[in-house]
Amino acid sequence: ITFDTIEGSPEERIIKMYKNVVAGLIKRGYPYQKSWTHWEHEDKLKDIFEDLEDLDNITRVFEKAKYGYKLDKEDIKIAKESYEKLMHFLR
């Protein structure tokens, strides 16, 4: 997995944000298997991280974007804030 530029529709941007977080986790050596769903991946990280609020937030909004649910302004705001915190941690 590689890092993507965050562009496109709101849904496309959220999907790319989530992908970038996963790429950052992989780069830092955290567990990942391609066969895991996004929720299985988060579950595997629960044993490593005390606080998964930001990962949970971006995963929840990613799921809405990926499966065609309408995103509202609050979803986008939450995802952006969580993305920024996670990427700061992963740098």
Q: pLDDT (tens digit, 9 = 90+) per residue, 28-56?
A: 999 899 999 999 998 988 877 778 999 99
Q: Any residues with CB less than 8 A from the CB of 60 and at least 6 apart, and which? A: none
Domains contained in the chain, number = 1
- What pLDDT, on a 0 to 100 scale, did the predictor assign at position 32? 92
Can you count the helices (H) and strands (E) in the chain?
A: 4, 0
Structural domain for 17, as ranges:
10-90
Please indicate, yes or no, if residue 3 is contained in any of the structural domains: no
Please indicate, yes or no, if residue 5 is contained in any of the structural domains: no
Please indicate, yes or no, if residue 64 is contained in any of the structural domains: yes
Q: How far is CA 17 from CA 14, 47, in A?
A: 5, 23
Distance CA 54, CA 86 (A): 7
Instruction: Enter the pTM of the model.
Output: 0.90
Please indicate, yes or no, if residue 4 is contained in any of the structural domains: no
Closest CA to 85 of 50, 47, 58, 45: 58
